[in-house]
Amino acid sequence: MSSRCRELALVVLVAGCALVRPAHPARELRVCADPNNLPFSNRHGDGFENRIAELVARDLHATVRYTWWAQRRGFIRNTLKARLCDVVIGVPSGFELALTTAPYYRSTYVFVTRADRLVDVRSFDDPRLRTLRVGVHLIGDDFANVPPAHALAARGIVRNVVGFPIYGDYREPNPPARLVDAVAAGTVDVAVVWGPLAGYFAPREPVRLALVPVSPQIDPPFLPFVFDIAMGVRRGEQDRKAELDDVIARRRPEIDAILDRYGVPRVGTLPTGAAS
């Protein structure tokens, strides 16, 4: 309570908290977000990260103010580190470029297939992956790609794999969704997609799609398909992190409800105590 008081006092430049009426919240939660990347966020506030930002802001008696920037290389540098905003709602736990809060969900890469074609793929060792047309996202930094791309290459599955640049065509809505569209359209037989993307877009396709978490969760020696997602703040801003950790702990059921509403597939249980 006292830390929030301090912050409010700073924002409104008054001597004490008593002068601030909660009915007129002066505090802003400054969020860095992509304006065109559902289900995470968009400019209209339709994404689950938009909803979570609103939830956090409500809890802190603040209003959300966004800095929009495509979440590409340089996103953190040009937004969070440039001090244009203070919080990124979704980053991997332990992300090097930011100080991360307690994770608030854990998701997995999933196999996405057309349910009517009954292609029930569960593992990268499924021999059918050698002949089916397989779609994955492509990143394109040197030697950096999505874990499924590495896993397929390590098994020599290459010629039947189709790459979809994660950046796509930014003139279109939600460019990464083209990979899920391709499964529905039959352009690829199976796509390996990050869970939140698949969980949101699959039910919106004209045909029914099946989602199966990939296995194993970690491909030896160390290729993870499961990631904990947290919020990110600037390194060194321990107070802000602690405050958000408290909000995440307090609002866990509401956060879960938002994730459910957006169809975010979750696996396992998050580490406990991290938010304390």
Partner 1 sequence: MIRLFLLVLLGAATAAADAPKAALVPPPQEDGQWTMPAKDFASSRYSGLDQITTQNAKDLRLAWTFSTGVLRGHESAPLVVGSTMFVVTPYPNTLYALDLASPGAPVMWKYSPKPESAAQGVACCDVVNRGPFFADGRVFITTLDDHVAAVDAKTGKELWKTKVGDINLGETMTMAPLVVKGKVLVGNSGGEMGVRGWLTALDAATGKIAWRAYSTGPDADCLIGADFKPFYPQDRGKDLGVSSWPPEAWKIGGGTVWGWISYDPDMDLIYYGTANPGPWNPDQRPGDNKWTSGIFARNPDTGQARWYYQWSPHDLHDYDGVNESILLDLPHDGQTRKVLLHADRNGYVYVLDRVTGEVLSAKPFVPITTSTGVDLKTGLLQYVDEKRTQIGKVTRGSCPASPGGKDWQPSAFSPRTGLVYIPHQNLCEDEEGVEANYIAGTPYVGANVNMYAGPGGMRGIFSAWDPVAGKEVWKTEEFFPVWSGALVTAGDVVFYGTMDGWFKALDARTGNALWKFKTGSGVIGQPVSYRGPDGKQYVAIVDGVGGWAGAIVAGDLDPSDATAALGFVGAMKDLPEHSNKGGTLYVFALP
Binding residues (CB under 8 A) for partner 1: these are 34, 37, 40, 69-75, 77-78, 81-82, 90-92, 94-97, 137-147, 149-150, 152-154, 158-163, 165-167, 169-171, 175-176, 194, 196-197, 221-224, 227, 235
Tell me whether residue 41 or residue 60 sits nearer to partner 1 (CB atom).
41
- Minimum distance from residue 169 beta carbon to partner 1 (Å): 6
Tell me whether residue 12 or residue 224 sits nearer to partner 1 (CB atom).
224
Residues 6+ apart with CB under 8 A from 184: 114, 205, 206, 207, 209
Provide the residue type at 160 as one letter: N
- Minimum distance from residue 71 beta carbon to partner 1 (Å): 5
Tell me whether residue 25 or residue 148 sits nearer to partner 1 (CB atom).
148
Q: Cβ distance 122 to 70 under 8 Å?
A: no
Tell me whether residue 147 or residue 263 sits nearer to partner 1 (CB atom).
147
Q: Cβ distance 248 to 102 under 8 Å?
A: yes
- Minimum distance from residue 2 beta carbon to partner 1 (Å): 31
* 149 three-class SS: helix
Tell me whether residue 21 or residue 159 sits nearer to partner 1 (CB atom).
159
What is the rounded distance in angstroms from the CA atom of residue 36 to the CA atom of residue 166?
Answer: 13
- Minimum distance from residue 219 beta carbon to partner 1 (Å): 9
Residue 30: count of CB within 10 angstroms of its CB: 18
- Minimum distance from residue 253 beta carbon to partner 1 (Å): 23
What is the rounded distance in angstroms from the CA atom of residue 152 to the CA atom of residue 148?
Answer: 6
* 123 three-class SS: strand
Tell me whether residue 2 or residue 141 sits nearer to partner 1 (CB atom).
141
Nearest 5°: the CA angle 188, 191, 195 is 155
Of 159, 158, 191, 189, the closest CA to residue 177 belongs to 191
- Minimum distance from residue 96 beta carbon to partner 1 (Å): 6
**DSSP assignment letter at 90:** E
